[in-house]
């Protein structure tokens, strides 16, 4: 695998760090992003820039994508200028966007018809995990494909699990987002309560991190909230998209998720306030007005 050429599509908050770790791991990389400037750092590190996803697909042995929305995934994978139309037979395509499970299955089946090996592998861990190569990677697809791309995954993540067939990675990511939706609410409410009651927030955080309230969301975002740092580790606009997918999937399964619905309604208000470009920890602003 180290001699394989990797094409990377989507070099934003998450993709930029992930792609950088592949370069550091010794892979030959070509990158594409709709905003070309977001590839500059990677080019400086040694990556090639390709002006289209079609050229990425034609060049690469493995194409990795992590873009914004399911519609973006569909646009880059299908059509005459899409990845599947231009990918070589026996190459690999791995979509790491948080997207819909049904779209993951559609990509898998279309890829199979063209002799291309496809996998859905959304991630969790935010910008910190992307930079540090410690992401949680939730994979769906064939075991042989998973085994083949594992050396690549190992440079981007630490917890890497094949969850099942095509779409299983996306379904697992929905479970992840459901947990986060209520967790980040609890973190923000807890900090707001600590402030209103006159407690020392730093002492409170130290105590909570050592007890049953400990969580990644608490440790990663409480310090940012204390500093007034609401820049995105994960965009609100993307989280709202994820929650919408989860609620739609749950409805299709005749499953009610009231806590998720409440969380989404609160983030929807932040979207209405034009705060979609902020990080999810900006939910705290709803409590501290």
Tell me: do 143 and 37 sit in the same domain: yes
Our count of domains for the chain comes to 2
Tell me: do 189 and 159 sit in the same domain: no
Tell me: do 185 and 154 sit in the same domain: no
Give the residue ranges of the chain where pLDDT is below 70: 1-2
pLDDT, residue 226, reads 97
Of the residues 123, 150, 165, the one at which a domain ends = 165
pLDDT, residue 142, reads 98
- pLDDT above 70 covers what percent of the chain? 99
The residue range of the domain holding 43 is 5-165
**Residues contacting 98, CB < 8 A, separation 6+:** 122, 170, 173, 177, 238, 241, 242, 245
Tell me: do 157 and 26 sit in the same domain: yes
Can you say how many angstroms the Cα of residue 163 is from the centroid of all Cα atoms in its chain? 16
Of the residues 107, 131, 165, the one at which a domain ends = 165
pLDDT, residue 121, reads 98
The pTM score is 0.92
Tell me: do 44 and 129 sit in the same domain: yes
Residue 279 is classified by DSSP as B
Q: How far apart are CA 269 and CA 10, in angstroms?
A: 28
Give the residue numbers annotated as catalytic, written as ranges. Answer: 173
pLDDT, residue 2, reads 58
Of the residues 165, 191, 222, the one at which a domain ends = 165
pLDDT, residue 233, reads 87
Tell me: do 122 and 260 sit in the same domain: no
CB 177 within 8 A of CB 242: yes
């Amino acid at each position: 695998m180290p001699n394989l050429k990797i094409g990377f599509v989507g070099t934003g908050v998450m993709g930029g760090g992930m792609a950088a770790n592949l370069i550091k791991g010794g892979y030959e990389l070509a990158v594409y992003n709709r905003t070309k400037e977001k590839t500059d750092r990677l080019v400086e590190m040694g990556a090639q820039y390709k002006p289209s996803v079609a050229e990425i697909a034609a060049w690469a042995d493995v194409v990795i994508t992590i873009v914004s929305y399911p519609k973006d995934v569909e646009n880059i994978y299908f059509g005459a200028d899409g990845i599947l139309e231009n990918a070589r037979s026996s190459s690999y395509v791995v979509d790491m966007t948080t997207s819909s499970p049904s779209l993951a299955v559609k990509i898998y089946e279309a890829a199979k018809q063209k002799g291309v090996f496809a996998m859905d592998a959304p991630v969790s861990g935010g910008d910190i995990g992307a930079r540090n190569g410690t992401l949680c990677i939730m994979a769906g697809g064939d075991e042989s494909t998973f085994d083949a791309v594992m050396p690549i995954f190992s440079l981007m993540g630490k917890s890497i699990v094949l969850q099942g067939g095509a779409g299983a990675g996306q379904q697992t990511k929905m479970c992840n987002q459901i947990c986060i939706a209520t967790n980040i609410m609890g973190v923000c409410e807890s900090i707001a309560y600590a402030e209103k009651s006159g407690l020392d927030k730093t002492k409170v955080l130290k105590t909570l991190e050592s007890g049953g309230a400990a969580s990644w969301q608490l440790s990663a975002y409480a310090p940012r909230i204390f500093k007034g740092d609401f820049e995105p580790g994960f965009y609100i606009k993307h989280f709202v998209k994820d929650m919408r997918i989860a609620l739609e999937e749950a409805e299709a399964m005749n499953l009610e998720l009231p806590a998720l619905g409440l969380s989404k309604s609160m983030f929807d208000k932040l979207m209405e306030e034009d705060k979609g470009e902020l990080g999810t920890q900006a939910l705290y602003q709803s409590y501290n007005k």
